[in-house]
Structure formats: C-alpha cells, structure tokens
Chains A and B, each alone.
Chain A
C-alpha cells in the first residue's frame, strides 16, 4: 500500500510572530520551523500503518528550498521518500492544486494530512484535494483502523464524536490521538540523508486570493485583580463594567 502524507513547514508553536515594516512579509529571523503538529499526527499514523501493513510512505511539501530540513525530519521519522513542489505556498487553493497534481497518477491508497495548518489555519486543503481527485474525505479524524481496503474512523464533531466507515482510497485530516508522535532514532536520522527527495516544478494556477497585509493584535492592558475573599466583586465588574454577564 502507498500512503501520501502532506506536511507544512510552520513556525514552532512557541514562536513570537512578527512582520516586516511594510506589514507584507512574515519575519522569519530567529524562528524555529517544525512539521505542522497536526501533520505530524498524520505522519505518525502512516508510520504505524507501515509497521503493520508494510506500506510505502511518500511525504509531500509545497514550499521553497528552505523547507528541506523539515522534510528531512519527516524522512527520519519514517517516510521512505519525499517530494517538494518548488513554489511558495501562497494559498490553500494553490497548494491543493499542487497536491492533486502530484497525487493524480501516484497510485496512492491513502492521503493523510493535518486537520489544519497552524500558520494560516485554513482547514480546507484536504477537502479541496479530495474534491479535485473525486475522493471522499474525512476530518478531523481521531482514530483510524484499517482492515483490508476498509477504514473505520472516529471523527470529532461538536460536543462528541462519530464513527464512519469508508473504503480506500480517501483523504483524511488528522488530529490527536490518532497516533503517538515518533521520535526519530539515530538510524532514521542517518538514512534520511540518503532517502530520495524529488523536487518538482508547480503546475500553473490562477490565484483568486491575495494577501494585502498582516497585523498583530493590540497589546492587552494590565489585568484587573480582585481580592480572593470577594468574588462577588468580580461578578459585579463582569456585569457592570465588562458587560458580559
């Protein structure tokens, strides 16, 4: 079986976010980049499947050459080969078209992604790719059991979860606790250096979304402290000052 795992290259969750003075560019100085946390769940699930079912894992990133350390990390975790579509991922539509172009003739039984990127928080690339390929898709998936060509999945819904059954191939957006994150071992790290990382050029896409500018939230004022002995005072402030009760 062949699994495609799509990963983003995103700032570490603890990063301080800032932009260039003209507010047009993300300032990446001093920022540590990681595999998107949800994408890492997708990759970890693929590794679990590989251990049980003898699969080949291909990881895919749409990004510039600067994403290669992140891609190598995915290879160290357990992917067998990698594809980088050599283009800045300008928006979800563009990215989805690139992924669909790669997946179309790739013979993948399963396409795993994260439920959402942590930079742009779109939550849409999996659905777009599935629609472009004419496949079913499910997100956010918390549990997946494969039995032959059938998958049973638990999907989070508002206020609970539901169980679905679907046949391969399909696209899934993953989240915890679908699999435990894997820590790459020495052998993985060594072999990652020599595993194939193929760079392909993007297909042409007409953009219909553009980013005009970025901004940061206004700094928060100081917290107003209420004495622990007088919680009624807190309710009074919430009711009469903040007007939220």
Chain B
C-alpha cells in the first residue's frame, strides 16, 4: 500500500498547488501508516524535485518523457506507477489537466473519485470521507469514497505546504504510454510567460467594467505587480476583449481560491461571486455603496477606482 501524488510542473519547477497535494498526501499517509510517493513527469531541475521531499514525499518517481503533456499520456504513466506501487490513493491538484487525469485514472484503476476536495481526506476503515464545494461555491457536500483505490484532486490553496520534510530519494522511471496519446497532435501554444498564474496566485487583483476600457488596466497591473498578485477580470471585460479570456473569473470562467481577492469596479453579480467565494479574504473597491459585491466582501472602499487605486499603489510601495 502507498499514497501516490502526481506533481504538476511549470517551467521546470513544481507548482505550489502540487506541493499542497504532496503535503496532503503526507498527512494522509501518516493516518494510514504508509508512505507518500510523488511522481513528476517531464523535465525538472534537480532542486525542484527536492522540493517534493520537503513537502512530505518519502520517495520521488521522475518520469522524463518529452512530447505533448496530455491528460491521456499522463494518466497512463500515473496508472502504471500506481499499479507498481500498489497505491490505494492517488492524489493530485484540481485543474483542467487534473480533471482529465482523474477521469481516465478512475476508469483504468476502477477507482472511486472526487475532484476539488477541500481538506485532507478523513479515514474511516476502508472508506475515505471528503468535503467538496458544489453548485459552484454555493454549497458543500460530504462524500464517502469506497473500494480498493481512490483518486482525489484537491482544491487549490486548501492545504498548507509542509516545508520540513526529509530529503527524498529520486528514482528515474519509465511507464508505458497509452496509444491514444498519439492521437492528439499539438500544434502551438500561446502563453503569457513570466506572469503569475491566476489559479496559482496567493493574491488576485481583478478589474470589471467599472474601469471603462483596456487602456485603464495599467494601474491594475501595477498594483498586482507590487503585491505579487495575478490579474483577473469579470466576464464582460473578456467578452469585450479588454483582457484575455483566461483571466475571466466566475461561474463560466476560472474559479480562484487565493488568500486575498481584490475586486475593482466589479458589481458582484452572482455568477462572478461563484468563481471567487472560496477566497479567504475579499476586498471590494466600487463607487456604488449599493454594489452587491460589498455583501460578499470582508473589506471595502466606497470610492472612485481612478482615485483610490493610485493612492493604494503609493501606499503599497511603502509596505
């Protein structure tokens, strides 16, 4: 028996959300008196793989395959590792890639699965009890997963990263790839480089239609830069092409769960709130004191964004 944790990377480093999954895997392995094994696929710096040990992995499997990193390819590799390690639980972080992996793994391993789980699963005999958000942030469900194998993805920012784990041994591995993987032909990619990923960010600064036009995003970007934040937006803003679609937060866009979400000139429609309600602290800056967002906020400033944000930037520079 063991717990296998899939660690996803970005630019040869392990994503913070994956370190969270490894830490959750460590905690679960403790409860089940077994070991936590991390698997990283692709090219990594050696130091990056050591991060997995610090986060709680007892052992790291490194599968250095090139080629298009599809959920199909990854699922077949992880399934191979899970069978070899006799894993009773496979853990990973919730993302679009993660969803694809969970779905295929649950079929391949005949496993019970749940996505977007909010805490380290509780153990009750052979059953794992998990909690997840449903109705896009409006409610929670408690589920029981039964059967010999479970595949679970964790919501981002739900479990803190452990930093005091021991050094882990790293083993180079290969596992068979599914034939299906070759059916997807990757043509090109368009990605903002160097920016903090919206879904990974501890802080998000988001702008809405109240900002009047794309030319006014300079101050949002500046505030984000000073705070080490990612930038987001409301749906009309991406519909109007003021900002790229992958920044659109809400029911039909990205769901975020940062420590701090700062909304500027966003009214707080229920569909927007659906994507941000898992944030730990919400700050709203809006000139209309009746804006519904204030009801969902922890802190607020009633005022004109074009006056408040520049002052906020000046104050933030002094932090």
Contact = CB atoms under 8 A, between A and B. Distances in A.
A242 B295 CA distance: 18
Interface in B51-75: 71-72, 75
B119 interface: no
Interface residues of A, number: 80
A26 B179 CA distance: 42
Contacts of A11: 135
Interface in A144-175: 152, 156-167, 170, 175
A243 B10 CA distance: 28
A239 B281 contact: no
B115 A122 contact: yes
Contacts of A167: 183
Contact of A160 (B103, B190, B200, B260): B190
Indicate the member of B188, B271, B283, B312 with the most A CB atoms within 10 Å.
B283
B199 interface: yes
Contact of A159 (B132, B191, B260): B191
B127 to A, nearest CB: 9
A143 to B, nearest CB: 10
Nearest to B190: A160
Contacts of B189: 157, 160-163
Contacts of B129: 212
B106 interface: yes
B246 A132 contact: no
Contacts, number: 253
Interface residues of B, number: 91
Contacts of B88: none
Interface in B126-150: 129, 132-147
Nearest to A163: B187
Nearest to A210: B144
Interface of B: 10, 71-72, 75, 95-97, 99-100, 102-104, 106-108, 111-116, 129, 132-147, 180, 183-192, 195, 197-200, 202-203, 227, 244-246, 251-252, 259-260, 270-271, 274, 277, 280-281, 283-284, 294-304, 307-308, 311-312, 315-316, 318-319
30 contacts: A37-B251, A121-B115, A121-B133, A121-B135, A121-B136, A123-B115, A125-B103, A131-B104, A131-B107, A136-B72, A136-B184, A157-B96, A159-B191, A162-B188, A162-B191, A166-B185, A208-B112, A209-B143, A210-B143, A212-B129, A213-B141, A217-B137, A220-B297, A223-B298, A224-B300, A228-B304, A228-B308, A235-B312, A235-B316, A245-B227
